[in-house]
Amino acid sequence: MIDIKKLRDNLEGIESSLSKRGYKIDKSSFKSLDKKRKELQIDVESLQAERKTLSSDFGKLKASGKDTSDLKSVIDKNNHDLETKDVELQNILDEVNSLMLDIPNVPDESVPEGKNEDDNVVIKKYGEIKSKNTLDHLEITTHIDTDLAAKLAGSRFAVLKGDIAKLQRALITFMLDEASNNGYQEFYLPYIVNKESLIGTGQLPKFEEDQFKVSDRLYLSPTAEVQLTNMFRDKILDDIELPIKVTAHTSCFRSEAGSYGKDTRGLIRQHQFEKIELVQITHPTNSMDCLNDLLKNACQILDKLELPYQVIELCTGDLGFSSAKTFDIEVWMPSQNKYREISSCSNFSDFQARRSNIKFKDKKGNTFAHTINGSGLAVGRTLIALLENRFNGNDEIDLPECLVSYFGSKKVKLK
């Protein structure tokens, strides 16, 4: 959530910034609601002050033994008016809050302008593209079974077996160890999250259709970003603790609403997938440095896996709802002859912290923190990249050295 005070003080400037990401703010609704909110707050405060005076007068009158019936009538009217105005004020505040929850984050000034992903900027390419393979991961191995998964659950799920299941487990452990080595504290988390947690990180209310709902207030987690960030909800941290670095492996669940027919084959876009999440709670003055640190941590994994990849900076028109600045890491997929996203590393500034009430205390008082997060990495897509980039036409692939001790041998059987 953006700072409502900044919105009031600089509505035109924020409107201009948000227009760069294709969002048109409803200025008239905001101005109208905010005007009503201000008027009602004045009315409520005036009635509260009047009630205090009337209560004092009533006490004095009663103590003197005089008739209080007329004054009681005035007090009863005051109480009725105050209750009515307070209900009106709460309703207006709810409307203001709903409007604020719909507004995306303001892009950082350093973000390149653009309308969509075509305007994203390639920062750098890493590694040499050596593979001549044209087969996709389902053609390479029989140990990824989407037909069996469809029998068990439906489309967009997969059953992994044999060496492929073991390789996924090795990747998860390797990635968690890398995160730990880079100073992230590991957590085991619930896979179900409540409504407040999803509101805190920006998935609700705007992206309700993308969630798997379990009950009125519970959902399957779409990403461990939700749990890891909300661990600090309603907390006041000490500035000397920052940055706080946390990580977790979870299954992630997404309905993928609106993406039918897109990447439906194999592991690219599934309802359930594995991911290692990296989250940092940072000081506002160095959050961009922390973003670069997190980006480096994610890239190191691909370096050790010896996979070619590129880093791109997202333009204003392609930023996620909560993000102020984002770098995507895209790994080379030989079967598609292009790079595909494997991690998205974002600085949310104080957007999530305001929604989640995450603050830190320093000499100036309590201030909203900044939040950073990114995948380190998406496990399924890493698995695909390993299979397709290291496939040599036989029924095995050779593993990069970093995975040998985790997997237990140098070769992975594909059939």
Residues 148 and 229 in one domain: yes
Residue 264: predicted pLDDT: 67
CATH number at residue 338: 3.30.930.10
- If asked whether residues 131 and 88 sit together in one domain, one would say no
Alpha-carbon span 377 to 169, nearest angstrom: 13
pLDDT per residue as tens digits for the range 150-167: 999 999 999 999 999 999
Whole domain around residue 334: which residue ranges?
117-413
| Beta-bridge partners for 365 | 362
Last residue of a domain, one of 72, 102, 132: 102
Q: Which residue from 122, 172, 141 is spatially nearest to 309, judged by alpha carbons?
A: 122
In a domain, 17, yes or no: no
The predicted pLDDT at position 260 comes to: 57
Q: Which residues make Cβ contacts (< 8 Å) with residue 34, sequence separation at least 6?
A: 8, 96
Predicted confidence at residue 327, as pLDDT, reads 98
Shared-domain flag, residues 262 and 173 = yes
Is the residue at 282 inside a domain? yes
Same domain as 367, residue 278: yes
Let me know whether 132 and 82 are in one domain.
no
For the stretch 284-301, pLDDT in tens is 999 999 999 999 999 999
- Asked if the structure places residue 3 within a domain, the reply is no
Q: What span, in angstroms and rounded, lies between the C-alpha atoms of 373 and 277? A: 7
Residue numbers in the chain where pLDDT is lower than 50: none
Identify the residue whose tokens are 């999803």. Answer: 198
Residues 264, 215 share a domain: yes
Strands 144-145 and 218-220: unpaired
- Report residue 311: phi and psi, to 5°: -110, 130
CA distance 164 to 184: 27
Domain termination residue (choose one: 43, 75, 102): 102
Per-residue confidence (pLDDT) for residue 364, from 0 to 100: 85
Beta-carbon count within 10 A of 360 CB: 24
**15 in a structural domain:** no
Which has the closest alpha carbon to 20: 116, 98, 94? 116
Confidence at residue 259, expressed as pLDDT on a 0 to 100 scale: 57
Looking at the fold, whether 83 and 187 belong to one and the same domain comes out as: no
Total number of domains in the chain: 2
85, 224: one domain:
no
Please report the pLDDT score of residue 257 as a whole number: 65
Do 141 and 271 fall into the same domain? yes
User: Are residues 297 and 213 located together in one domain of the fold?
Assistant: yes
Residue 392: predicted pLDDT: 85
Same domain, yes or no: 157 and 227: yes
Whether 90 and 123 share a structural domain:
no
- 């209310």: which residue's tokens? 205
* pLDDT for res 65: 87
